[in-house]
Amino acid sequence: MTIGSWPLSTHEVLNQPPPLVDWNLFDADRALAEGVAREGADWAAGELRGLGARLGSEETIAWSFQANRFAPVLQAFDRFGHRRDEVEFHPAWHALLGLAVEAGLHSAPWAKPGPGAHVARAAGAYMFNQIEAGTMCPVAMTYGVVPALRHQPDVLAEWREPLFGRRYDPRNRPAPEKRGALFGMAMTEKQGGSDVRANTTRAVPDGRAWRLVGHKWFCSAPMCDAFLTLAYVDDALTCFLAPRWTPDGAKNAIHIQRLKDKLGNRANASSEIEYHGAYAVMVGERGRGVPTIIEMANHTRLDCVIGSAGLVRQSLTQAIHHARHRTVFQRRLADQPLMRAVLADLALEAEAATLLMLRLARAYDGEGPDETAFRRLVTPAAKYWVCKRAPVAVVEAMEVHGGGGYVEESILPRLYREAPVNSIWEGSGNVMCLDVLRVLARTPDAIDALIDELALAQGADRRLDAQVAALADEAAAFAKAGMPEHRARLLVERMVLTLQAALMVRHAPAALADGFCASRLGGADSGRAFGALPDGLDLAAIVTRAGHA
C-alpha cells in the first residue's frame, strides 16, 4: 500500500548479516585442523569434524541460548521440609552435557590412552567452549579427577566404569545404579580462597571411611556424582572423595546452601555447600592433600587455556562474519583498512592461542621428563596470559558489531561475561605467576625444556632470536639470584609471547608469523590496542585464513 508515492512499509530488513548457523567449527578453523594433525591426533579428525558440525548446527546453538536464558534452580527442600539438595536444569543443559559426554570430552584420554589423545580431547573442548562454556565446567573437572584418583587405585577402580563410559546420566541416584558419572571439586573456603591451608573443614574417622564437617565457599557443579575436597585430619590437610550417596544407598550429608549469582557461566550451577558429617574416603596419603589435588588442578588449568582460546576464536569468527556482510560508507566493513587491521590483529591473537593450546595438550600426551617439565612450567604461564587476553579480545570483537553486539540476542555478551572466569578459576593471575616462579626455583629442567622448544625456531626470525636470547639471559639471572615477585607478571608475559611467536614462526603461514613477531615482540611501531599494527603486514591474507568457510 502507498500514500501518493510513499510506501507504508516501515520495516524492511537491509544490510544485516545472515545468522551464523549450520557451519562446521572444525573445517572452518585451519589452525585447529592443521594443529590436530601436527600434534599427533590426525586419527581423530573424522570424529572432530562430526563434532564440529553438531556444535555449529542451528539446534545446538539454540540449546546454548536456552541453557543460559533459563538458569539452574536450587531445590534445597521438598514441600514437606525434607532436604532435597538438587539443582534443576533446563532440558537444553542436559542435551549439551550429553553431547559433550558422548564425544568423550570428560574422560577419553584416560579410557583410551595413546598418542594424541589429550590433543584430540583439547580440540573437542576448544570447539565446545565456543558454543556453550558452562557445560565444560563439570566436563573439565571430570577430566582432571583421574590423575588425582590414581593416588588411590581402589577408589579409581570403584568409579572406573561410570567415569570412563560415554553415556550421560543426569539422575540423582547412587553410583552403582548409574550409567555414567561426573565429578566436581570443593576446595576453597571463604576465609582462605586460594590459600587452602587456611581451610577449617575437618575429617574424623568412621571405621574405614571418614566424616566431614565444614563449609565450602565454592563447589562447582553441585549436581555431580562425587567431589574431590580438602579437609584436615588433626593438623594434616588431606584429600577426600565425597560422593552424593553413601554406600548404603542414603543421601550423603552434603547440603547445598545457595547457588552463586555469577557474572557469567550462568548455565552452570556454582554453589556454597556444608558438610554435616558427610561420608568420604581418603584419596592419597594423609597430609598430602595439596600435592594430590594439584594433579587435578594441572589438568583443569589446561582446560582454562583451552576455554579461553575457544572464546577468542568464536569472537573472531563472529566479528569476521559480521564484517563480511555489513556495508558502511558504501563498502563492506571487512574491506575497510582500519577494520581490516582490527580483524587481522584478532586473528593473530586467536591463532597464537590455538597453537599454544594444542602444543601444551601434546605435552600431556608425553611421558618423558622433558615434556613433564615443559607442561609443569607452561601450564600456569599459558593460563595466565591466554586467559588475560580473552576478555580484551572478546570486547574488541563485540565493538566490531556496534550496538547489535551489545544486546543479548547476540552471542557476544555471553562470551564477554564468560571470559573472566578462566583467569580466576583454578588460581588467579598472581597465583599463576607465583607458581611459575616456584617451578623455576624447584625444577631447573623446566626452563631448559622451554629453551629447547624455542630453539626449534632458531634462525627463522631475527626478532624472535633476540627475544629468545633475552629470555635465556633473564632465566639465567633468575637461577643465580632469584627474582622479585613484583616482576613475575612481566617475566611470564615475555615467556608466553616468545613461545607463541616460536610456534607461529614454525607452523603458521608467513603472513601471520611476520604479523605476530612485528606486533608482539616489542616493536616500537605497534600500539597497545587491537588494530594498532605496524606497516607492511599482509592484512588481507591474515583475515582470509581466519575466516570461516
User: Whole-prediction pTM value?
Assistant: 0.96
SS (H, E, C) 153-200: HHHHHHHHHHHHCCCCCCCCCCHHHCCCCCEEEECCCCCCCCCHHHCC
Tell whether 63 is covered by a domain: no
Domain tally, the chain: 1
Q: What is the pLDDT of residues 8-59, one digit of tens each?
A: 677 888 999 999 999 999 999 999 999 999 999 999 999 999 999 999 999 9
pLDDT of the residue at 549: 44
Q: Is residue 111 part of a domain?
A: no
H or E stretch covering 424: helix 421-424
Give a yes or no: residue 312 inside a domain.
Answer: yes
Q: Are 510 and 526 in contact (CB under 8 A)?
A: no
Q: Is 539 a member of any domain?
A: yes
C-alpha span between 202 and 196 (Å, rounded): 13
- Among 20, 134, 129, 138, smallest CA distance to 68 is for 134
- Whether 323 is in a domain gets the answer yes
pLDDT tens for 399-429 read 999 999 999 999 999 999 999 999 999 999 9
CATH number reported for the structural domain that contains residue 429 in this entry: 1.20.140.10
Is residue 51 in a domain? no
Instruction: Give the chain's residues under pLDDT 50.
Output: 549
Which residue range is the domain that position 447 belongs to? 291-546
Helix/strand/coil for 359: helix
Locus of grid cell 581451610: 199
Q: Look at residues 225, 117, 217 and name the one whose alpha carbon lies nearest to residue 178.
A: 225
Judge whether 191 lies within some domain: no
Identify whether 324 is part of a domain.
Answer: yes
Cell matching residue 243: 560422593
